[in-house]
């Protein structure tokens, strides 16, 4: 696992941090929340790369990284007393398959319909995996909160 965390890994994680810092500034997030949303973005991309090296499955690595980031967002949302969506939205941005959508549209415009459909299918599977992971973690957090209220 340590051989995965080389200079390239750290560089990509730091780029994730910087990208989400810019997105958070543009989204008008203020104070300490700015730092912690950026940490969430770096965490999501770093965990995605680690899970991808561990499992070699694109969808599983996206699913596990999204679960971990949603758990992080649940804690940060409670800690800062803001909606969890503030942290979830900023943290999953590095995982969103924007390049897949771009390349599928380029292939479609160039007349390579089969390649465009393949790339679009892969993009939709990644987007669906992200949304399912968010729904699962949100449901688990709600059930956990209800159980805590009972005791």
How far is Cα 108 from Cα 124, in angstroms, rounded to an integer? Answer: 16
Contact 20, 34 (CB under 8 A): no
Total-model pTM: 0.90
The pLDDT of residue 111: 93
In a domain? residue 67: yes
The pLDDT of residue 12: 94
Contact 23, 90 (CB under 8 A): yes
Q: Mean pLDDT, consecutive 10-residue segments, the chain of 151 residues?
A: 77 95 94 95 95 92 96 94 94 93 94 94 95 96 91 80
The pLDDT of residue 13: 94
Contact 42, 105 (CB under 8 A): no
**What total number of domains does the chain contain?**
1
The pLDDT of residue 1: 55
Q: What is the DSSP letter of 3?
A: T
| 49 CB neighbour count, 10 Å cutoff | 19
The pLDDT of residue 56: 86
Domain span at 19: 7-150
In a domain? residue 65: yes
């Amino acid at each position: 696992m340590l051989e995965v965390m080389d200079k390239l890994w750290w560089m990509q994680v730091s780029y994730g941090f910087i990208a989400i810092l810019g997105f958070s500034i543009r989204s008008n997030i203020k104070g300490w929340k700015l730092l912690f949303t950026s940490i969430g973005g770096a965490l999501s991309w770093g965990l995605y790369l680690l899970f991808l090296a561990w499992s070699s499955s694109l969808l599983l690595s996206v699913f596990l990284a999204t679960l971990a980031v949603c758990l992080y967002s649940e804690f940060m949302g409670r800690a800062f007393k803001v909606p969890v969506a503030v942290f979830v939205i900023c943290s999953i941005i590095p995982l969103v398959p924007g390049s897949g959508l771009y390349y599928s549209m380029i292939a479609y415009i160039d007349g390579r319909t089969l390649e465009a459909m393949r790339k679009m299918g892969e993009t939709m599977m990644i987007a669906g995996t992200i949304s399912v992971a968010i729904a699962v973690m949100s449901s688990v957090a709600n059930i956990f909160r209800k159980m805590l209220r009972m005791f």
